[in-house]
Amino acid sequence: MTNINKKVAIQFIKGKDEEDQPEIRLFRNLDGKKGQAIYKFYKPSSITFENFNSIQKMYLIDEEGELSTRKIDLSISETHIREVKSTYNWKSEKEFERFMRFSERYSNSLTHLKNK
């Protein structure tokens, strides 16, 4: 399968990549099928006071397409967006495997950027 779009990104606004690298924690149920990934962004670049009310989803984009979640929590101070916490859930082994393929591509893209 050939795909022209090799881009890997996290976006809160379609077309604008989030530049802050998140802290990511994974949790899986004992049965191994269901679980969640919690993303924490401490200095989000794409979310501002002007647009935070319009943020609807976090998009995980790669060559296979896109995963998304509506579970987004913002921590706001009087002067800036302090933290963004977003939770991506999966409900099957197949969904988990797809999420892990995105995660590997995302990690490799960050490593590639650091080596430039």
This prediction's pTM: 0.87
The range of the structural domain enclosing residue 42 comes to 9-114
Counting the structural domains of the chain, the total is 1
pLDDT value at 52 more than 50: yes
> Whole-angstrom Cα distance, residue 20 to residue 39?
11
Residue 2 domain-assigned?
A: no
**Helix, strand, or coil here: 101?**
helix
Q: Greater confidence, 89 or 110?
A: 89
Residue 102 domain-assigned?
A: yes
> Whole-angstrom Cα distance, residue 38 to residue 71?
10
User: Which pair of structure tokens corresponds to residue 6?
Assistant: 């090799």
Residue 3 domain-assigned?
A: no
pLDDT value at 3 more than 70: no
Per-residue pLDDT tens digits for 36-45: 999 999 999 9
Residue-by-residue DSSP string for 19-42: -SPPEEEEEE-TTSS-EEEEEEES
**Helix, strand, or coil here: 108?**
helix
CA distances from 22 to 30, 31, 50, 74 (A): 25, 27, 22, 14
